[in-house]
Structure 1
Amino acid sequence: MAKSRKVVVIGAGPAGYVCAIRLAQLGQQVTVVEKDALGGTCLNVGCIPSKAMIAAGSLMDKIGKASALGLTVEGMSLDVEKLVSWKASVVAKLTGGVGILLKNHGCEVVYGAATIVDKNTVSVTGKDGKQTIQCDDIVIATGSVPLAIPGFEFGESVWSSTEALAPKALPKRLLVIGGGYIGLELGMMYRKLGSEVTVVEATAGALPGQDRDCVKVIERSMKKMKIDFIANAFAKGYEAKKKGLEVRIEVEGKSRVIECDQILCTVGRKPFSEGLGLDKVGLSTEKPGFIPVDDQMRTKVPNIYCIGDIAGQPMLAHKGSKEGLVAAAVIAGQNERYDVRCVPAVIFTAPEMASVGMLEDEAKSKGIEVVTGQFPFAASGRAMSLMETDGFVKIVADAKTDEVLGVHMVGPEVTELVAEAALAIEMGATTEDLARTIHAHPTLPEAMMEAAEAVHRMAVHIYQKPE
């Protein structure tokens, strides 16, 4: 066995803490430096708390529609303080669990801001002063922070996603700047909880970069929910008035004013490297702030690794965790590489949306002859029983080899269903493989099987005109 190495992991988010635990499992001596709370953005102010709040909004929405099932609920009300407290309890359980895991694996945790002094030294400034840690390897896992735009600096009137997940009260009128996944997840959540919501998006439609057929379903849903979605719109500034906030926007060259009580800015996130001391070891970032790495997560300094949001797109927790496992294995002397065919993306809108692998247009741009199959949830017995029949599963396949290239879905619980699609692509499965696999009935994953059959115009539960 290779000699145990001393490793400092800077950042304890889903990239950093996963890396630290795997390093310990592989016999390395690990120190984790965290400037805030274990679990990073994801567990504390991102993925987990947002999904907890979204679940509450979805439950309220379902209760409101329960009369269709013969269930009458009267006097339903929202206690915002209690909701936020419950959300915090979910977060506390998970972050506490991370702390126990690190302790049980023998990882030392040091709280404070880390600065790289040289390739074998990290300085940490915490509430008890400064300390210096010597090491053989350094793993940078500092994550990202919300991006502000000029004229909309974060504060009392302008929330980032962090403040939106801990409201003191429900805003009557919420203006969301940015129609990407964070903006739509939170905007739809607030609409379900009772706020009037307006979304302004700089591009021609919602969720730029996603499958347009899926996006159309989300855009229709926003219309049904009475969310005012304004495309090709740029937020220019705002003023506080007695009746609330007046936000100036520009839509296709024309000026317009929108009144609201709260602004939520969700135009993206930027990698965090402030104060890290990258220049001291000859490292620098590339636009928009990523540190270049190879497929073993090494930077150009051989014993310094970089994982998670700061290592490049996609800025997703599960991608960061995978990179953490790769870096840990390499440090421990294994010949591991970041070698994945796809990274799934899940969007907790209403309905949910999920995507993995190539878009249809992307595959065509690579010169691949493609064929697609689509199956609607309107034809799914399970979806009907859930009263959630909007959406579909769409499979993009190679017309010559039948290999699954991409799967894009919108509808009930598709954030769970996408796992089968990701496995299929990683294993090089064909649509025939999916179609021949028996799927339990009545379940939502049957839509995957039928979409695979639809590629060959053989779906049983929809009619496809013979070619």
Structure 2
Amino acid sequence: MTQTTQAQLVVLGGGPGGYSAAFRAADLGLQVTLVERYERLGGVCLNVGCIPSKALLHIAGVVEENEHLAELGFAPQQPELAAVQRFRDQTVERMTTNLSALAKERGVTVIQATGVFEDSHQLRLSHANGTESLLRFEQLILAVGSRVVALPFLPKDERIWDSTDALKLSQIPKRLLVIGGGIIGLEMATVYRALGSAVTIVEAADQLIPAADSDLVRLYQRQNKDRFDIRLKTRLDSVSATEAALNVTLTDANDQSVSADFDAILVAVGRRPNGDLIQAEKAGLTVDDRGFVAVDEQLRTNVAHILAIGDLVGQPMLAHKASHQGHVAAEVAAGEPARFAPLAIPSIAYTHPEVAWTGLTEKEAKAQGLNVRTAAFPWSASGRALASGQGNGRTKLIYDADSDRLIGAGLVGAHAGELLGELTLALEFGASTEDLALTIHGHPTLHETVGLAAELAGGTITDLPNPLAKRHPATA
């Protein structure tokens, strides 16, 4: 007979959204059971995604700094692969161990299993030891995340990777082809280039990181033109595997095809939600043909006692969005009047240099018919950026010309993602560019460029020629 257990609130999925929901719900007094398929909490993000990739990107950053040191006469060393792997694993271990301790401290019951719906109040769990059980619940928060998109025409070959494979660092290929010029593709390209691979990046769109504004991406691409072979408006037509290499055919926008050999291929063309993997129809849940589950501002699905968060409910597929949604879903489950209605969700490509944005991009604002203006401060005029060898960056503010209200911001440069905190807070508080300009920023710092961009918008800039300056007739 199949064992059945009862829970007040079940959270299915232990990634950043899931464990955040479970821990918040437990803090609000609910009895919580958290179901996670990995042996360790953290989901894709902590185990095979965000955290191990950022550990490797830290190593890539060290290599980047070493290259700069070489220009200054130092003799840097290339990192050893075993040491890099050890640092990656230790980082993941520390994070996941902390999560287990937090779950225990809060009294959250953790079950390692995968789950599908048996009905609207019951999950069928498949455990690692091959057994099955039933888990009944009063309420459920779905946090089952997403999976990589595969290209069905590719041959089965251990040299063809997805992002999880790439993070294993099983080998450093001499020639690596990255299919997809989005954030994941570029981050992995950054890692492998630092570790010695010659990297070719193929993107079907007319720019890398298609979601970002093109002026920022052009700056990134200009700084990486000698590091990567970047091919835009290009598609992968075929791959044939031989013992010696993977032979590919690439076709550009003019239908000109070329063949080339690579030692490994990373497919990074996106992710799709896992709504089609949970037998949602048995619970009466509505899932669209892409695998997304629709929710309202309280993150309730069409079945009132089932909530959903994270990648499962739509773009952007980002861990920090899922975490905040996890808090909201837990509060709703506990009877509080919470809602998820952010004005801005930051996005960051942890590349070299970083590309980051928050709020509306310039192209999104124009598409909405807003009267948009921008002010961009070049890091070539920033003392801290120049002293750090980072003078190629830019800080860009996007604001409403009628109200002066900030509606978005974007940056490219070292630690660009760290500068989004102030800007996202400014967006949530409805700040104007004048508010930012009148905020005293430390000097010399990179975040000073935010205030200087705002001064440029308001015509009070003194660190650059002022386009709004009034000239005395005698000096005009």
1:321 lines up with 2:323 in the alignment = yes
State which of 20, 31, 34 in structure 2 corresponds to 1:29.
Answer: 31
Query: Where does residue 309 of structure 2 map in the other structure?
Result: 307
Query: Where does residue 69 of structure 2 map in the other structure?
Result: 66
Q: Distance in 1 between matches of 2:8 and 2:157?
A: 41
State which of 174, 177, 185 in structure 2 corresponds to 1:175.
Answer: 177
**Could you say what secondary structure the match of 2:275 adopts?**
coil
**Could you say what secondary structure the match of 2:224 adopts?**
helix
List runs of 5+ in structure 1 lacking aligned partners: none
Q: Distance in 2 between matches of 1:249 and 1:68?
A: 36
User: Is the 1:389–1:412 Cα contact (8 Å) retained in structure 2?
Assistant: no
Deviations 1:173-216 (A, max 9, x none): 00000011111111122112211000111111211121111010
Q: Which amino acid aligns with 1:330?
A: V
Change (3 A) 1:26 1:80: same
Q: Distance in 2 between matches of 1:305 and 1:96?
A: 27
Q: Distance in 2 between matches of 1:283 and 1:6?
A: 20
Q: How does 1:270-289 map to 2 (within 5 A)?
A: 270-289=272-291
**Could you say what secondary structure the match of 1:51 adopts?**
helix
Q: Distance in 1 between matches of 2:167 and 2:293?
A: 29
Q: Residue 106 of structure 1: CA displacement?
A: 0.5
1:240 lines up with 2:241 in the alignment = yes
Change (3 A) 1:343 1:287: farther
Q: Pick which of 382-391 and 409-418 moved more.
A: 382-391
Query: Where does residue 217 of structure 2 map in the other structure?
Result: 215
TM-score by length of 1: 0.95
Deviations 1:416-447 (A, max 9, x none): 00111100000101111111111111111000
**Could you say what secondary structure the match of 1:135 adopts?**
strand
Q: Residue 301 of structure 1: CA displacement?
A: 0.3
Q: Distance in 2 between matches of 1:202 and 1:367?
A: 27
Deviations 1:355-374 (A, max 9, x none): 01112232223232122111
Q: Distance in 1 between matches of 2:459 and 2:289?
A: 45
Q: Distance in 1 between matches of 2:188 and 2:107?
A: 38
Q: Which amino acid aligns with 1:50?
A: S
Q: Which amino acid aligns with 1:431?
A: T
**Could you say what secondary structure the match of 1:301 adopts?**
coil
Query: Where does residue 3 of structure 2 map in the other structure?
Result: none
Query: Where does residue 56 of structure 1 map in the other structure?
Result: 59
Q: Distance in 2 between matches of 1:432 and 1:465?
A: 16
Q: Which amino acid aligns with 2:420?
A: V
Query: Where does residue 429 of structure 1 map in the other structure?
Result: 431
User: Is the 1:84–1:165 Cα contact (8 Å) retained in structure 2?
Assistant: no
Q: Residue 92 of structure 1: CA displacement?
A: 0.8
1:404 lines up with 2:412 in the alignment = no
User: Is the 1:235–1:248 Cα contact (8 Å) retained in structure 2?
Assistant: yes
Q: Residue 46 of structure 1: CA displacement?
A: 0.9
**Could you say what secondary structure the match of 2:35 adopts?**
strand
Change (3 A) 1:155 1:269: farther
Q: Distance in 1 between matches of 2:342 and 2:123?
A: 31
**Could you say what secondary structure the match of 2:177 adopts?**
strand
Q: Residue 240 of structure 1: CA displacement?
A: 2.2
State which of 199, 202, 207 in structure 2 corresponds to 1:200.
Answer: 202
Q: Which amino acid aligns with 1:61?
A: E
Q: Distance in 1 between matches of 2:217 and 2:393?
A: 10
Deviations 1:10-45 (A, max 9, x none): 000000000000000000000001112310111111
Query: Where does residue 454 of structure 1 map in the other structure?
Result: 456
Q: Which amino acid aligns with 2:232?
A: A
User: Is the 2:246–2:264 Cα contact (8 Å) retained in structure 1?
Assistant: yes
User: Is the 2:213–2:363 Cα contact (8 Å) retained in structure 1?
Assistant: no
Q: Pick which of 118-127 and 291-300 moved more.
A: 118-127
Query: Where does residue 104 of structure 1 map in the other structure?
Result: 105
Q: Which amino acid aligns with 2:300?
A: R
Q: Which amino acid aligns with 1:65?
A: H
Instruction: Give percent identity, aligned residues only.
Output: 38
**Could you say what secondary structure the match of 1:224 adopts?**
coil
User: Is the 1:233–1:251 Cα contact (8 Å) retained in structure 2?
Assistant: yes
Q: How does 1:343-354 map to 2 (within 5 A)?
A: 343-354=345-356
Deviations 1:266-298 (A, max 9, x none): 000111235412111111321421111111010
State which of 131, 144, 147 in structure 2 corresponds to 1:145.
Answer: 147
Q: Residue 261 of structure 1: CA displacement?
A: 0.4
User: Is the 2:157–2:241 Cα contact (8 Å) retained in structure 1?
Assistant: no
1:43 lines up with 2:46 in the alignment = yes
Q: Distance in 2 between matches of 1:14 and 1:224?
A: 36
Q: Distance in 1 between matches of 2:156 and 2:183?
A: 19
TM-score by length of 2: 0.94
Q: Pick which of 127-136 and 196-205 moved more.
A: 127-136
User: Is the 2:359–2:409 Cα contact (8 Å) retained in structure 1?
Assistant: yes
Q: Distance in 2 between matches of 1:287 and 1:450?
A: 46
User: Is the 2:155–2:240 Cα contact (8 Å) retained in structure 1?
Assistant: no
State which of 133, 136, 140 in structure 1 corresponds to 2:135.
Answer: 133
Q: Distance in 1 between matches of 2:150 and 2:367?
A: 34
Q: Distance in 2 between matches of 1:127 and 1:193?
A: 35
Query: Where does residue 340 of structure 1 map in the other structure?
Result: 342
**Could you say what secondary structure the match of 2:430 adopts?**
coil
Q: Which amino acid aligns with 1:247?
A: V
Q: Distance in 2 between matches of 1:221 and 1:182?
A: 18
Q: Distance in 1 between matches of 2:122 and 2:291?
A: 23
Q: Distance in 2 between matches of 1:361 and 1:174?
A: 32
State which of 264, 267, 272 in structure 1 corresponds to 2:266.
Answer: 264
Q: Residue 154 of structure 1: CA displacement?
A: 6.4
Q: How does 1:11-26 map to 2 (within 5 A)?
A: 11-26=13-28
Query: Where does residue 161 of structure 1 map in the other structure?
Result: 163
User: Is the 1:23–1:332 Cα contact (8 Å) retained in structure 2?
Assistant: yes
